[in-house]
Amino acid sequence: RKGWLDRLKAGLRKTGSSIATVFTGTQIDDALYEELEEALLMADTGVKATQHLLEDLKRRVKETKTTDPAAVKGLLADALAELLRPLEKALVIGEHTPTVIMVAGVNGAGKTTSIGKLTKHLANEGASVLLAAADTFRAAAREQLGVWADRNTVEIVSQEGGDPAAVSFDAVTAGRARGKDVVLVDTAGRLPTQLHLMEELKKIRRVVTKADATAPHEVLLVIDGNTGQNALAQVRAFDDALQLTGLVVTKLDGTAKGGVLAAIAQERPIPVYFIGVGEKLEDLETFNAREFAQALLS
Ligand code: GDP
């Protein structure tokens, strides 16, 4: 497990070092808080979460009567971990058979890769998985999902040029008939006209519920950790349209600034079931607020 944490730390290093410089002085004064505010905003933390963290930090400094700037960094880690804690939640399957998981995300976010990783993760837990290729618009998307299905040796429901909602309906029905534990529905990230994307996704959601009145049991959004405040905008838009139950935040091994998770925790505290820390099948980790806060500030 150590390797991925190092990759996460390496990915977040730039943020970590710019925040660290804030605490190299000898005094805890307004200048320190101003510098910290700037560093947090630069790290994609957003205005609201930044204000929240600063207030919480000042309270902690007062309470502990801290006078050493270096110790303030530790208090910031505590404040950040507390803010992020509501995002900590495990994806539970098995309450319904099959558990239907709809996965959304804009193209390039890492959706297909994350579905491949998630399939492996679920298979490791002993679950049988059926994949549904509901992105019927892009042949490449279907093919790529097929590659992940082969790598994981799981079945896939796919139909060239078919109706995405119909493919999803068929997959849920097939999942039940074949006794699968999980049906993972991969949806389109972009349509010829962007305006129709949300309508299409809402239709898939409705039709999945027609196939199984309790489904979808999970609606996940995959976001690219590098896209900062834009990722927050995506969370808002997809949550408004689909009532998200969880997030997967990818590419945190890259050059992500990481603060966007604090912004999400402040404004839309939707559980982060997993984080992506590499391109390989096993590079999927569960989210831990304390670990993440420490990685961000290390
Ligand atoms: P989609 O268009 O959302 O389905 O995105 P893809 O799954 O095709 O991923 C887009 C690119 O991001 C690919 O090159 C992936 O290998 C890469 N990628 C996905 N997740 C991660 C991650 O956690 N870390 C890194 N470094 N790359 C990732």
Q: Which of 3-7, 223-227, 251-255 has the lowest mean pLDDT?
A: 3-7
Report residues whose beta carbon is within 6 angstroms of any ligand 1 atom: 105, 107-113, 189, 250-251, 253-254, 276-279, 283
- Which ipTM value was assigned to this complex? 0.99
pLDDT at 145: 92
How many angstroms separate the alpha carbon of residue 126 from the centre of ligand 1? 25
Q: Which of 113-117, 181-185, 250-254 has the lowest mean pLDDT?
A: 250-254
| Residue whose CB lies within 8 A of the most ligand 1 atoms, among 113, 142, 255, for a mutation test | 113
Q: In this predicted model, what pLDDT tens digit does every residue of 120-141 receive, in sequence order? A: 999 999 999 999 999 988 888 8
Average pLDDT over residues 5-34: 89
pLDDT at 2: 61
Q: Is the pLDDT of residue 8 over 90?
A: no
Reported pTM: 0.95
Q: In this predicted model, what pLDDT tens digit does every residue of 192-250 receive, in sequence order? A: 667 789 999 999 999 999 999 999 999 999 999 999 889 999 999 999 999 999 999 99
Average pLDDT over residues 283-293: 95
Q: In this predicted model, what pLDDT tens digit does every residue of 163-174 receive, in sequence order? A: 999 999 999 999
Mean pLDDT of the chain: 93
> Parallel, antiparallel, or unpaired: how do β-strands 284-286 and 272-276 relate?
antiparallel
pLDDT at 100: 98
